[in-house]
Every structure is written in structure tokens, then in C-alpha cells.
Amino acid sequence: MSIASLLPGSMSSGEIQIIDPDRGAEILRRHDLLSQFLKEQSFDGLLLTRPSNFSWATVGGNSTRGSLSDTTAALFVSSDARVVLTRNTDSGQLFDREVNGLGFQLKERSWQEDLQLLMGDLCRGRNVACDFPFERCQDVSPHLRGMRLPLSKTERKSIRVTGSQVAHAVEATARSFRQGDSEAEIAGQLVHRLYRQKIIPERIQILADGQGQRYRHWGFGDDQVESLCTIAVIGRREGLHVGAARTVSFGKPSRQFRKAHLDTLLVQATGMFFSQDQWEIFETWNRVERIYEKFGHSEEWHFADQGCVTGYELCEAPIVPKSQFKLSAGMPVFWHSSIEEATSADTILVGEKGFDVLTPMENWPQVKVDVKGVSIQRPDVLIRSSSD
């Protein structure tokens, strides 16, 4: 085992990573938390392979190649060590860019060897917990989710910045694409804006002219936008996910769509308002379902998922009718409501008293929605002229 150092060759000042003392302190706190868990459960170590857990344990480190799903490393944690397991082709980047100066050790193999062989060697003869089924290790994934949430003060600060930038990218794209552009072209414009902020798009929906009613989970295709378009995305940065959606109409939308949109906002606002500290999801869901029924849309929620508690996993806990998952202050919740053609999505942060919107409107028409006497500002439809 060795301590990683910078690879030979000069680095520019822009490449040198500045150590964040707050991040370092949070990594130590999480190591202590994991060490206590290992002690209580009589484990010798913990093997983390999922990118979400790697990112959580390193407070934002990325173990994927090109920020996609191909993982490059695992993390082995014991009471006295944090060891990154990887191949020689990835170790330099990991230690220069992701965990530099933060107390992690390195154990590597040559690029042509299966990383699971290294993992198996390290686990052999030890009682090891893990986050996926591996050899004789015990999968403790549910316990890890309990550690990832709620978000720390550092993470809440980070996700607020990411949320604002995700909303900005969606709104800027919605204001600038041209009538007649294809869904794929609009998706490309959105991705360009997100990548400029180092935000990785995990899920994109460009819903042109009723596409969302036909296929609630549609991504994007070659269809051209004639009159209506909803742009929705979930982005990830520093391991944390946040999502938003906005809708554009070239010319005044139909009365039917207008009603569906306003009802969708009311459903979404109800979910936001009742995402309350120490409430179980089913308590929140019961209020949401009543709104669907009250306004004549009792079947609509059956056609698409309604959102989830998000975080280091895109979906830490789904919003489903009988869920006993308990919300608490500091948990981000992505609400994704839809009725007929209309879709509305935003991410909130549950607070001790009320909630904060993590994807705020920047330069966007708004409509006021009242829930239990509280006025909640929601994104209206942006009406553009065909000559824009």
C-alpha cells in the first residue's frame, strides 16, 4: 500500500487543487461515523463500490470515468484507514483531482487486471460489509442511505448553487431555442449549458406538443416543436442530484392545456407544502392524491412517477402511496407532477419549518398557488411569439 502522489510532469496553477478545510473536516466526521458503525456491527471493514457512496464518503469525489456510469474505483474503509482501490490508469487522476490531500491511501493494480480481484484480496480473511452483493460480504446498503441523508451544512450550500444553475440552464434554453427546432437539438443546447457549469445531465426530457401525454417518461427525439415544449432535467454535480422543468408556448396555449397546467402546479405545490419534517411519505402523498381527485384527475398519477427524495442517489426514496420513509430537515425532494400534456418539476429542501426551493425561477413568469392559506409562487407557461 502506498500514499498517492502527483504524477511526474508540471501542472498549471489552474490544475492544482486547493484543499478545502471544511471538506476535510466533513470527511473525518464521516469516517468516524463509519468506524462507529463497523464497531457496533463487528465488521473489520466496509467496501464501497457505488459512485453515490464513493462521492458521499469523499464529500463530492467522482469515481466514474468521464462522469458517466463506468466506475473506476472502489473505497475500502476500516477504523484507521481510507483506501482507494483502482487501476494504474486512473490513480493519478483520482488523487490529483478527486481526493488530493484528504488522507486517502492508494492500493492499485495494472489496468488489465479485474478490479474485483483486488477487492477480493483485500476482503479475504476479514469480516467485511459492502454496498452490493460481493463474495461473502454483507450488503448494508439500507444503513448507508441512512448516513447519506439528511445533507450536511456543506452539502446544502453546494446543492443550492447547483439547483440555481440547473434552473438557469433550463430557463435560458427555453427562452432561446427556436420554433421548429427538434427535441434533440434543444437537448443539445441544454447539455451545453449544463456542461459549462460541470453539471452532468442524468435525465433529460424534451416534450414537444403533447409528447408528455403520450409517453410520460419520454426523453427526446427528432420531433420538431410547433407550439408547446416542456424542458426537464435532473443534473448531478459533486455527487448531488437536482431537477427542474419549465414549459414554453409559441402563442397562447389552449384552454384545456392551461387548466391542466394550473392543476399540475396545484398538485406540485401541495406536495412541496406537505413535505414536512418528520412526516412519513405516505402522509404527504395522501394530501397530493386528494388534489388529483378533487380536480377530476384521479387517474393521472397512475401514469407516471411523482418524484423522489434525492441526494447522492438520483432516487434515495421514491414517492409512492404507502411509503413509510420519514422525511427530515435537510432532505432534498424532487417533485415531478404531470396531468395530460402538462408537466411541472422542481426540487425543494425540507426544513424544520417549511421548505426552500432549490431550483428558483430567475427570469420567468410566475403564478401564485395557495395551499392551506400559504401562497406559493410556481412557474407559469412562458409565452413566446413565433418570430422569436
**Pair (143, 158) in one structural domain:** no
Coil, strand or helix at 239: coil
Same domain, 140 and 209: no
For residue 231, being part of any structural domain is answered with yes
Instruction: Give the C-alpha separation, 207 to 111, whole Å.
Output: 42
pLDDT surpassing 60 at residue 11: no
What pLDDT is recorded for position 17? 59
Looking at the domain assignment, is residue 9 inside a domain? no
pLDDT mean across residues, the chain: 92
- When divided into structural domains, the chain yields a total of 2
Residues 262 and 200 occupy one common structural domain: yes
CATH number at residue 137: 3.40.350.10
Nearest to 128 by CA among 72, 74, 183: 74
Question: Is the domain of 251 the same as that of 138?
Answer: no
Write the CATH number for 359.
3.90.230.10
pLDDT over threshold 80, residue 9: no
- Which grid coordinates belong to 207? 416534450
Residue 16 lies in a domain: no
Average pLDDT in the 197-220 region?
94
Q: In whole angstroms, what is the distance from residue 359 CA to residue 176 CA?
A: 19
| Residue 372 CA: distances (Å) to CA of 266, 358, 378 | 11, 22, 16
Look at residues 259, 276, 293 and name the one whose alpha carbon lies nearest to residue 374. Answer: 276
Choosing from 90, 117, 147, the residue where a domain stops is 147
Confidence class of residue 289 from pLDDT cuts 50, 70 and 90?
Answer: very high
Residue span of the structural domain in which 252 resides: 153-384
Taking residue 3's Cβ as centre, other Cβ atoms within 10 Å add up to 9
Do 127 and 176 lie in a common domain?
A: no
158 and 95 fall within a common domain: no
Average pLDDT over residues 25-44: 96
| Whether residue 369 sits in one domain with residue 303 | yes
Q: Assess whether pLDDT exceeds 90 at residue 387.
A: no
Last residue of a domain, one of 121, 147, 173: 147
pLDDT at 192 exceeding the cut of 70: yes
Q: Is the model more confident about 53 or about 9?
A: 53
Residue 224 scores a pLDDT above 50: yes
Entry pTM: 0.91
Which residues, 6+ apart, have CB-to-CB distance to 71 below 8 Å?
49, 51, 54, 63, 64, 65
- pLDDT greater than 50 at residue 5: no
* Residue 113 within a domain: yes
Residue 292 confidence (pLDDT): 96
